[in-house]
Structure 1
Amino acid sequence: MSSIMVVGGDRLKHITNRLENEGYTDIIHLDGRKSSMVKREIPEHTEFILVITDFINHNMAKVIKEKAKKQEKPIYFVKHSWSAIQKIIRREA
């Protein structure tokens, strides 16, 4: 099972579909604007984290970066575009 966490982004349906086509079967999405999301943990089985920089508050970006570092998970900050995301997932493959 390939697992990825996506943080930020309001509507990810087209990105989710494309990630599934790339083989990611478990896509965890955290809204980057709601302050309650800061409390969520990164599941152990997550391979890496994508942070959509266009749709995230600064505190959430800081907290998720700290959590990723603590768990030694790769984290990438990308714009809300498939071409930017695709570069990262191809690098991780």
Structure 2
Amino acid sequence: MSVLVIGGDNLGNIENNLKEKGFNRITHITGRRSREQTYKVPKDTDVVLILTDYVNHQTSKNVKKQVKNSKSKVIFSKRSWASISKSLKSFIR
């Protein structure tokens, strides 16, 4: 499975924890104002994880619009692993 994480300057242990949950391809975008703001969500992404305490509303809105007609699922969470794990439970069975 693949995950695109948007938000946060670095992932720290979140990347390792996502690998343990079965995500073999992890892409990270900081969500800060820069050239990355014009990114495209890859078509083969299974989950888009938005770290809500590190991105603005416009970024979230842009991502939801891109994912609307794809097979990807958008999950919103705070940056803590406990919050991320709880949000992922609905996706990972």
Report the TM range for the smaller structure's normalisation: 0.7 to 0.9
Residue 48 of structure 1 is matched in structure 2 by 47
Residue 19 of structure 2 is matched in structure 1 by 20
Q: How many residues align?
A: 92
Give 1:82 deviation, angstroms: 0.7
5+ unaligned residues in a row in structure 2: which ranges?
none
Residue 87 of structure 2 is matched in structure 1 by 88
Question: Which ranges of 4 or more aligned residues in structure 1 deviate by more than 4 Å?
Answer: none
TM-score by length of 2: 0.86
Residue 66 of structure 2 is matched in structure 1 by 67
Give 1:70 deviation, angstroms: 3.4
Give 1:22 deviation, angstroms: 1.3
5+ unaligned residues in a row in structure 1: which ranges?
none
TM-score by length of 1: 0.86
Residue 32 of structure 2 is matched in structure 1 by 33
Partner secondary structure for residue 36 of structure 2: helix
The answer as to whether partners of 1:35 and 1:60 remain within 8 angstroms in 2 is no
Partner secondary structure for residue 89 of structure 2: helix
2:35 and 2:61 map into 1 onto residues whose CA distance is 14
Identity %: 34
Partner secondary structure for residue 70 of structure 1: coil
2:10 and 2:47 map into 1 onto residues whose CA distance is 20
The answer as to whether partners of 2:10 and 2:30 remain within 8 angstroms in 1 is no
Partner secondary structure for residue 51 of structure 1: strand
Point out the structure with the larger helix share: 1
Residue 6 of structure 1 is matched in structure 2 by 5
